[in-house]
Amino acid sequence: MHAVTTSDELIDRSGRLRTPWVPVMEAFRAIGQEEMTRRAAALNRQVRLAAPFGAVTSHHYDPLPAPLTASEFAVLEAGVKQRAHLLDVLLEDIYGAQTVLHENLLPPALVLGKPHFIRALHTPQKLPSRRLALYAADLIRGPDGKFLVLHDHTGIIPGLGHALTLRRLAATTIPELFRAGGLRSLRPAREMLVDHLQRGAESGLIAVLSASASSLAYAPDMMDDALLARALGALLIEPGDIAARNGALHIKTLSGLLHIATMIRGLSGIELDPLEQGGRPGAGIAGAFGAIRAGVLTMLNNPGSALVEDPDFAPLLEPVFHRLLGAPPQLASVFGDPLQLASKAPFVSGNGLTSIPLAFRLYAWHDGEDWQVLPGGLGFGLEDKSNPAAGTIKDIWVLDADEPQFFSGAGAVEPPERLPFLPAAHLPSRVADNLFWLGRSAERLETAARLMMLALPRLESGTSLPRDVAERTLIARCLAKSRLIPAELASGAISGKFLRQTLARRKPFAGLVKEVARLLNAASERLSPSMLATVQLALDQVEDALVPNEETALPAILGFSATFAGIAAENMSRDGGWLFLEMGRRLERGEILADTLAILLDAAPDRLEPGLALGIELADSVLSYDLRHAGILAPGPVLAMILADNGNPRSLNFQCTALRWSLERLGADDDAEAARLLQTEAVSLAGRVTELATPLATIAARLRMLSDRVQRRFFTLLPEAHQLEDEEVIPPP
């Protein structure tokens, strides 16, 4: 028995550098080992920033590609096309006539006993859509230089989002690798795939279905789903975003339920439809199988397609090739230990280059007429727990200077017509809800920090002058209203030392920061990588500052709030998710301001001065007031600035005006009118100096009611409640 000798991707049998690797290694030597290690770290940061869920991926991204010559790719392309065609035909047969089972080419017990065989999709006739439309194959180069199939992917197609993203990011991080040219571009192939999906959807919605955080057991890589949705210009959705109506699936958006025509599945088919399969109702989509059978939903790939990727099928496929295609397989399957058989390729490590067994993952899709293969893909180090670089992936290059069949790309077509929608109409209600509460939570955190920075020095003084006692009492009531201290402690006797002890024991800011971080991750798919990185860095600084004690984190919290507000103002377009982020901020700021002023201004006119001073400081308007009025406190000017000034971003009028504008943009005219009435009332209160507490508390309550109406209209999508009139008749069931 002879020992197996593995081949090497980098060095040929004569000991010389293989031609495809020459420009790659020249670039590596020019950059240098130490700098390349830094570039690799930068590449990994760039890819992780593209993850809208804030999820940590288990992959490590290697900057060195794995090049293939045009002739090598031609062999692989033909073999992948043939194998995809065979598995497509095999799936149709297993879920249809079952010829391979009747002829015992595949043991019936093997097929019918697999969990991925879904009996609900065994139909006497073909489904309206293909059972297999996306395919990926993992291959290795054997000791003789021939490629062997290691694994088929026919259910969830892993890594396609990474494959379509990695090269673009590597080009900005390590541009020296791309100077030699002669590299076949991925862009035309991606455009052909997008064009095919859009034509198939016929102006309907295209979505990538990803598992929610509660279904991680069925979500191999949510980051890949997010990258794929961005690369294809599709919606990223979760099972909770979908509702079945009249036999079809719809996404819950701000304009109501919109029909989903095409769905790329990142969720296992085992629990996809709890209505027909059982299982957890919240983990899947009730009615999905019915929509597929009726032809109103095209799913890539259909549930049950993962059956033929089971390793038990690989040794039995050769006779199936002859029976169904009348030809032998062009690519043989791996028999033996792939770690011993696979060729090795260089990967960047801290010590230079490490040689690791390499597998190639190539992707294919059916365009309605034939299978197309992506001229690239992912290379990855084979799993070896003893190898620290296991889980590393890299780009696959196809070298071809001519590129005759791919640079032509898809034919020029106009984007499909869509019905005119209001701003943010296609925004999933889940995402809008997260952005709305992100705005509220960020504003709540900032206001609490401002209040605490105002309170600590005043409570430290300990003087017993009537004005100081009045200030401490008002501050204590505001702290209790913001739930920073218990309500029973809201008196003028509270001291700065006791407040610090309360903060150390209750840790209210840690809870507020945790909620902001949760919502930031939940809504991050609507933030660009650079925006997310900037905001996340500021939030990390807050979390680090909270470690000694919460008091030391107050400046960092204000820094985060300024960063967050600046990013939202300067980087987000004035529609879509920004409208809900803005509404959340304005509702929270207006409600807190009205509640706080109701406390501060609850006094006779001759005792308003402490409340006026605190109000102007909490509204961060001291400098503007001093410049206008020389610092002389008077009820009229103070109330005009914090209640009626439309140019002051912290006045009550400004909050109501911004709310009204956002609601008008979203077509919520009745709620916009409610905001206008609140705006009018805030301006009218500026002319009063007595009995302000009750109307301000009423404004705060009406803002809370407006918040409930916004949630009801846009997030829960429920009709308005009403009473039956006398003439209304309830129709019989």
Q: Is the pLDDT higher at 690 or at 362?
A: 362
DSSP SS3 for 475: helix
Highest mean pLDDT range out of 148-162, 178-192, 598-612?
148-162
Counting residues of the chain whose pLDDT is more than 90, the rounded percentage is 47
Q: Dmax of the chain from CA atoms?
A: 104
Task: Give mean pLDDT, residues 339-368.
Answer: 90
668 close to 711: Cβ distance less than 8 angstroms: no
Whether the pLDDT of residue 418 is over 50: the answer is no
Place of tokens 């015992």: 104
- What is the bridge-based pairing of β-strands 235-237 and 205-209? parallel
Counting residues of the chain whose pLDDT is more than 70, the rounded percentage is 88
Q: How confident is the model at residue 333 (pLDDT cuts 50, 70, 90)?
A: very high
Task: Give mean pLDDT, residues 557-573.
Answer: 91
Q: How confident is the model at residue 405 (pLDDT cuts 50, 70, 90)?
A: very low
377 close to 360: Cβ distance less than 8 angstroms: yes
pLDDT confidence of residue 52 = 56
DSSP SS3 for 237: strand
Q: How confident is the model at residue 304 (pLDDT cuts 50, 70, 90)?
A: very high
Across the chain, what does the average pLDDT equal? 85
Residues with Cβ within 8 Å of 666's Cβ and at least 6 positions away in sequence, in order, are 254, 422, 423, 424, 579, 714
pLDDT confidence of residue 212 = 63
Q: How confident is the model at residue 650 (pLDDT cuts 50, 70, 90)?
A: very high
Whether the pLDDT of residue 728 is over 90: the answer is no
pLDDT confidence of residue 55 = 53
Distance (Å, rounded) from C-alpha 53 to C-alpha 521?
5
Q: Which helix (H) or strand (E) holds 371?
A: strand 371-381
Q: How confident is the model at residue 216 (pLDDT cuts 50, 70, 90)?
A: very low
pLDDT confidence of residue 576 = 76
Q: How confident is the model at residue 59 (pLDDT cuts 50, 70, 90)?
A: confident
pLDDT confidence of residue 388 = 45
Whether the pLDDT of residue 464 is over 90: the answer is no
pLDDT confidence of residue 690 = 82
Distance (Å, rounded) from C-alpha 91 to C-alpha 271?
19
Q: Give the burial class of 113: count Cβ atoms within 10 A of its Cβ; 0-12 exposed, 13-18 middle, 19 or more buried.
A: exposed
Whether the pLDDT of residue 240 is over 90: the answer is no
Task: Give mean pLDDT, residues 96-113.
Answer: 92
Is the backbone peptide bond immediately before 301 cis, with ω within 30 degrees of 0? yes
Query: Residue 173, Cβ neighbours under 10 Å: how many?
Result: 19
Task: Give mean pLDDT, residues 297-304.
Answer: 93
Whether the pLDDT of residue 44 is over 60: the answer is yes
Q: Is the pLDDT higher at 86 or at 284?
A: 86
pLDDT confidence of residue 51 = 61
Task: Give mean pLDDT, residues 448-469.
Answer: 81
Whether the pLDDT of residue 724 is over 50: the answer is no
Tell me which of 141-145, 256-260, 465-469, 554-558 is least confident.
Answer: 465-469
The CA angle 361-362-368, to the nearest 5 degrees, is 145
Per-residue tokens: 20: 């495809």
pLDDT confidence of residue 57 = 64
291 close to 230: Cβ distance less than 8 angstroms: no
Whether the pLDDT of residue 130 is over 80: the answer is yes
Tell whether the torsion through CA atoms of 46, 48, 49 and 50 is positive or negative: positive
Whether the pLDDT of residue 6 is over 70: the answer is no
Task: Give mean pLDDT, residues 52-62.
Answer: 67
pLDDT confidence of residue 414 = 52
